[in-house]
Structure 1
Amino acid sequence: MEKPEFESYKRPNGHDEFLEWLTQLKVEDRAKLLQIITDTEEHGLLVAERMKWVKKIETEKNLYELRSKLANNIQRALYFHVEGSRYVITHGFTKKTQKTPLKEIKHAVALRKEWRINNEN
């Protein structure tokens, strides 16, 4: 199985919500999440699933989360699969509860749709 390669989504308006959010995190939280992404790329999705670095979003097809936790800070980055080893991160957020908030899932779905409209022509 080929190893995943993650990229963030730069919207037509020039915003990259994932990178903008990432730069506002505390240094330790940012480092931890970036390490999770690197480790997932290096070891592959099966290992990442076993290690609980990634998880499928139950309510959606082709929507997943990268999971990072440092002390009580829980960071999530939502992403989808394009093709082959290509994966696109829509955005990230700091999680306050066990469940992934529906508004974050809906936002990721909207960004995925926008990405498709702008990239599959």
Structure 2
Amino acid sequence: MLDVIFFRTETGREPVREWLSNFDEEEGNIIDLDIRVVAEYWPQVLQTNLVKKMTGEEHLWEIRSRISAGKRTARILFTLERQRMILLHGFIKKSRKTPRKDLRLARRRRDLSKSRSE
């Protein structure tokens, strides 16, 4: 089982936790459950549609949560360090391709997280 950690900025903010607080209770519960399933069943969960390795990215995966009765998809990009799943960035996916700005932000946070743990 992986420990779930929220990425923390240098000022102490937890952007993914803040993003999650914007959802209503039902959607928040769906996303929370998906995070817990990934943490509990890693790496077997890679064989499902719930989580996917980001193509061409080193140490970057995404959790795909279907919300709003399946009409929207919330994505959380995360990295792994030892037995920790670090939640880096969350967004609502509106197109097939992950927006570059979201990938850049997740990469930057991944690199910051890695440099702090070294």
CA distance, structure 2, for counterparts of residue 41 and residue 89 of structure 1: 11
Is residue 109 from structure 1 mapped to residue 107 from structure 2 by the alignment?
Answer: yes
Q: Which residue of 1 aligns with 2:65?
A: 68
Aligned counterpart for 1:93 among listed residues 88, 91, 94:
91
| CA shift for structure 1 position 96 | 0.6
| Closer/same/farther in 2, CA of residues 26 and 119 from structure 1, 3 Å limit | same
Is the CA contact 1:5–1:86 (under 8 Å) kept in the aligned structure 2? yes
Q: Quick one: which of 34, 52, 65 aligns to 2:49?
A: 52
Alignment of 1:15-54 (within 5 A): 15-46=13-44, 48-54=45-51
Q: For this pair of structures, how many residues does the alignment match?
A: 116
Let me know the Cα RMSD of the aligned residues: 1.3
- State the secondary structure of the residue aligned to 2:110: helix
Unmatched runs of 5 consecutive residues or more in structure 2:
none
TM norm structure 1: 0.87
- Read off the aligned partner of 2:95 and give its amino acid letter: T
Distance 1:27 1:58, change over 3 A: same
- TM-score of the aligned structures, taking structure 2 as reference length: 0.89
Shift of 1:88: 0.7
**Any runs of at least 4 consecutive aligned residues in structure 1 with deviations exceeding 6 A, and if so which?**
none
